[in-house]
Amino acid sequence: MTTEQFVPYEMKTSIIHILSYEGKNLEGYLENAFFKGRRYFSNLTQMIFLVEELLDSMVFPPRATSMRSFKAGTAHRVTTAHKSVNADKPIASFRLSVLFRQNASWQGNIQWMDDRAVTPFRSVLELVQLMDSVLGQYDSQEEES
C-alpha cells in the first residue's frame, strides 16, 4: 500500500514566464515554490522535461502509466539554460496547474496572466497550442512569411 504525500497548494501551480518567442522557439523560466527559485529553459522540450521533472519530484499528480524508453533504465534530466539577457521582462506569463497525468500526457488548466481567463487542456500538445495562440503575436519570423 502506498501513502500519499502531502503537497502544499502553492507547489501545485507553476508560473511559466516566456522571454522570447522566435520561429515558434520559446525561451524563458519556470517558477515554483518546490524549486525555490527560477529554472531557465531555452526551448519547448526543455520546458516540458522541466515541468515533468518537477511533477516527478513532488509525486503530484501521480503518474497513471510508467515512462517508456528505447533504453532500459534511462531517465531524463534537464540541463537548464543560462540566464537570458532579457530575463527581467517576460513577453507573456502563464499559470500552469497540472491536475492529472494520464495517457502519457498532462491534463489541467492554464491561465494567460494578462487575460486572467483560465482554459483547461487535455494533453501537452493542446497546452502548447494554447500557449502558441498567445505567443504567435510575438513571433517576428511568423510575421515575415
The pLDDT of residue 111 is above 90: yes
C-alpha cell recorded at residue 107: 491534463
In a domain, 2, yes or no: no
In a domain, 3, yes or no: no
**Considering the entire predicted model, what is its pTM?**
0.80
Residues pairing with 108 in the sheet: 98, 121
| pLDDT score of 66 | 78
In a domain, 117, yes or no: yes
In a domain, 26, yes or no: yes
Mean pLDDT of all residues in the chain?
84
In a domain, 142, yes or no: no
| pLDDT score of 62 | 81
Q: 100-131: buried (b, 16+ CB within 10 Å) or exposed (e) per residue?
A: ebeeebbbbebbbeeeeeeeebeebebbbebb
In a domain, 1, yes or no: no
Count of the separate structural domains present in the chain = 1
Range of the domain at 42: 11-65+80-137
pLDDT of 4-56, one tens digit each?
A: 566 666 678 999 999 999 999 999 999 998 888 899 999 999 999 999 999 99
At 27 the three-state DSSP class reads: strand
In a domain, 101, yes or no: yes
Contact residues for 81 (Cβ-Cβ < 8 A; gap 6+): 27, 40, 41, 42, 46
pLDDT band at 119, cuts 50/70/90?
A: very high
